[in-house]
A = this chain, B = another copy of it.
Amino acid sequence: MEQHEPAEEETLESLRHRLRKFAGDRDWDQFHSPKNLSMALIAEAAEMVEHFQWLTEDQSSQLPLRKLAEVEEELADIFIYLIRLADKLDVDLIDAAARKIDLNEKKYPAGVVRGSAKKYTEY
């Protein structure tokens, strides 16, 4: 069985390597086409949605600890497939997100959209 020394400081990069090794060690890489991984990711996203579907927005902000732990695990699952998918497509997640935020900052200037709740739904 593989040994994993708890890294003192895991990073997105170290997780990417662990996940790549995890799939490789199990010969599961053959299943990890981007198409399949996209399905796995959305299935995990839906498990998270399921936790929130009958809650009010307020309730969703004040989850009991036990429920929060379950949601945390769903977020982890989404993140894991997202990292794996980005790795297969050779996408740098941090960089891609940073550039998207740059774009959004230009697209929605704070001075114009601030306080305009109504408009939000039109974006």
Known: A31-B120, A41-B48, A110-B25. A72 touches B96 (CB 8 A): yes
Give min CB distance, A27 to chain B, whole Å: 5
CA distance A114 to B24 in the complex (A): 9
CA distance A29 to B110 in the complex (A): 13
Q: Helix, strand, loop or mixed for chain A's interface? A: helix
Known: A36-B54, A120-B54. A97 touches B72 (CB 8 A): no
Chain A contact patch, size range = 35 or more
Give min CB distance, A82 to chain B, whole Å: 6
Give min CB distance, A20 to chain B, whole Å: 11
A1 CB contact (under 8 Å) in B46, B60, B111? B111
Known: A27-B115, A33-B61, A75-B93. A82 touches B82 (CB 8 A): yes
Cβ of A54 and Cβ of B97 under 8 Å apart? no
Interface string of A32-61 (1 = CB under 8 A from B): 011110111111011111111111111111
A110 CB contact (under 8 Å) in B2, B38, B56? B2
CA distance A5 to B35 in the complex (A): 36
Taking CB atoms, residues of chain B closer than 8 Å to A95 are 10
